[in-house]
Structure 1
Amino acid sequence: MQKFFSSRKLVIVVVCLIVSFGLMSLSVAIRDKRNTPPLVQQFGNDIVGFADRIVAAPMNGIHHGFVSTKNLLNTYQENARLKSKVDQLTQTQVKDQVLTRENKQLKRQLNVGSTLTGYEKINAAVITRTPSTWASQIIINKGQASGIKKNMPVIAGPGLIGTVAEVNKTNSKVVLISNTAENSNRFAIQVLGDNSKVVNGIITSYDSATNRIVMGNITSKAKLSVGNRVTTSGLGGVIPKGIYVGKVSKVAQDDYGLAKKVYIKPAANLNDIEVVSVAVRD
């Protein structure tokens, strides 16, 4: 009897499997022929979709909450950094204004007229820069009518970019310090070397391969290091003193090994010049 029931259970299991496979095959066949699934399947799909939405809604809310909190913290930290920089900039501007006013008062007290560092700025926009002369010159929208004169220095951003080479009534041509032509932009500059010693020289050339200004005609033997600041010396007669040029990137010997050659990384980005300032000596 027990053996009979055992065989009967096995037969029932096999029949159930066959019926299940048959129903599945029938369902697939009907689904392929119909545009919509059967009613039972639709009901099941709706229940599953509803359950997914119930589970997904709070999970998405939690995820977005974490993301929003993280973005808020990042924004707060960035805002704190920017606020600190703004405060420093404000302090620097106030200090600069105080020193400028004090300098003028001292000049009046000592009856000192114009000095090498005194200059005003005339702002101008770049109106022409062609690909063929990209590294050598630009045209600005200020000329004689605005007080521009030949050989005046031109500044863009933090540093010197060149000098005025040609002046018209309403525009001017500026020769860039990246111009490799002979006798171009050969003006006096100086380096504040180690131990606060000043080393004078002139811009002798431009190394286009490394994007470096080359300073030559150096007579001082004072030690120079990478990172020393370079400014105009004002000794040429036209260019004011103290205009930032760049930083020393390398110190080497000339081709004959008799004098120093200083390679300077320009402070200004010579590939992105849109607005400039022309320095006019007082």
Structure 2
Amino acid sequence: MSFFRRKRLFTILLALIVLVGLIGFSLTDRDQRSTIEEFFQDAVGWVQQIVLTPVNYVTDIVSNIDSMKNMYDENQVLKENLAQYQQTLYEVQELRKENEELMNMLDKTESISDYTPIQATVIARSPEQWFKQVTIDKGKQDGVEKDMAVITAEGMIGKIQSASQFTSTVLLLNGFDRSNRIAVNVDLTESDEDARGFILGYSEERDQLLLEFTEYYEEVLEGEHVFSSGLGGVFPRGLEIGTIEEVTTDQYGLTQVAYVQPSANMNDLRHVIVVDRDMTTSTDIDESEEED
């Protein structure tokens, strides 16, 4: 047993000596390598190529998947940012529109300084008459009363149909009939006098107001402006109502009538002004001072 152990130990030592010698020989600087070294070097290169090719392929696939995932995440973020930008842009446009409307309302308030302007906001439309009635956030506590005129910066939109303590219902012009007629004047461009008449209702077919003149006027032209005359004591004088679109006669050919396009857009109402007709005007004050 000891003989075989010594022989095996001797063989191992000899192999280690040869291995160390080969390693030392391979580490020396030489211009030429042996055939065995070249073979092992080429073999190692081929093995590395065989192993690294699928590894690199898988690595590229994983890298592409990561890139696609990152692109998807970035795309989602960009979509969210775009949606927020569009929402912000819409809000800015709405604020600009509202600001312009409020500025026009302010100018309108100053132009009707002879009356008490009551600023109000539309808070609802009546479901049963969606296009004919709206509810505003001002009522009797704010001085609103039945039959007061309601206007926007563009023109008259209707009147107070009913008022509670804190809210009121507005009957729009497109809901008017003969029981809600408005005395009006038409500013004739070719005459020194105004034409007189009454708004008697609304034509659903033409989507325009129906004006009936008190007499026949040859000077009435399309595009003439229609204003409230103040007669009857319901509406103040000088509130713009609309412009004449067509002048004709009634079905019997006896009365001159006209179709009037309202100045105000009654389908897009936000801020309105209730006009207190009972306030003493500057003209009345001047007349009372002259009497004193």
Is the structural similarity TM-score above 0.5?
A: yes
In 2: Cα distance, 1:224 partner to 1:171 partner: 40
Q: Identity over aligned residues, as a percent? A: 31
Instruction: Give a deviation string over 1:178-232, Cα, whole Å, max 9, x none.
Output: 015552x311111012323201111111012222111114224242001101110
In 2: Cα distance, 1:122 partner to 1:180 partner: 22
User: Aligned residue for 1:137?
Assistant: 133
**Change in 2 beyond 3 A, CA 1:36/1:190:** farther
Equivalent position to 2:171, from 172, 175, 189: 175
Q: Does 1:186 align with 2:181?
A: yes
In 2: Cα distance, 1:144 partner to 1:129 partner: 19
User: Aligned residue for 2:193?
Assistant: 197
In the TM superposition, 1:201-280 aligns within 5 A as 201-280=197-276
In 1: Cα distance, 2:240 partner to 2:137 partner: 23
Instruction: Give a deviation string over 1:84-127, Cα, whole Å, max 9, x none.
Output: xx9xx9xxx7xx97xx7xxxxxxxxxxxxxxx993121011111
Q: How many residues align?
A: 178
Q: Contact 2:195–2:213 at 8 Å: present in 1 too?
A: no
Q: Contact 1:197–1:222 at 8 Å: present in 2 too?
A: no
In 2: Cα distance, 1:223 partner to 1:256 partner: 21
Q: Contact 2:176–2:200 at 8 Å: present in 1 too?
A: no
The runs of at least 4 consecutive aligned structure 1 residues that moved more than 3 Å come to 33-37
Larger Rg, first or second structure (1 or 2): 2
In 2: Cα distance, 1:138 partner to 1:279 partner: 16
User: Aligned residue for 2:156?
Assistant: 160
Instruction: Give a deviation string over 1:221-262, Cα, whole Å, max 9, x none.
Output: 242001101110001212110011111100010111011111
Instruction: Give a deviation string over 1:71-91, Cα, whole Å, max 9, x none.
Output: xxxxxxxxxxxxxxx9xx9xx
Q: Contact 1:138–1:174 at 8 Å: present in 2 too?
A: yes
What residue ranges of structure 2 are gaps of 5+ in the alignment?
Answer: 1-52, 58-99, 280-292
Letter in 1 for 2:222: V
**Change in 2 beyond 3 A, CA 1:224/1:175:** same
TM-score by length of structure 2 reads 0.55
In 1: Cα distance, 2:218 partner to 2:209 partner: 20
What residue ranges of structure 1 are gaps of 5+ in the alignment?
Answer: 1-32, 38-85, 101-115
In 2: Cα distance, 1:149 partner to 1:170 partner: 11
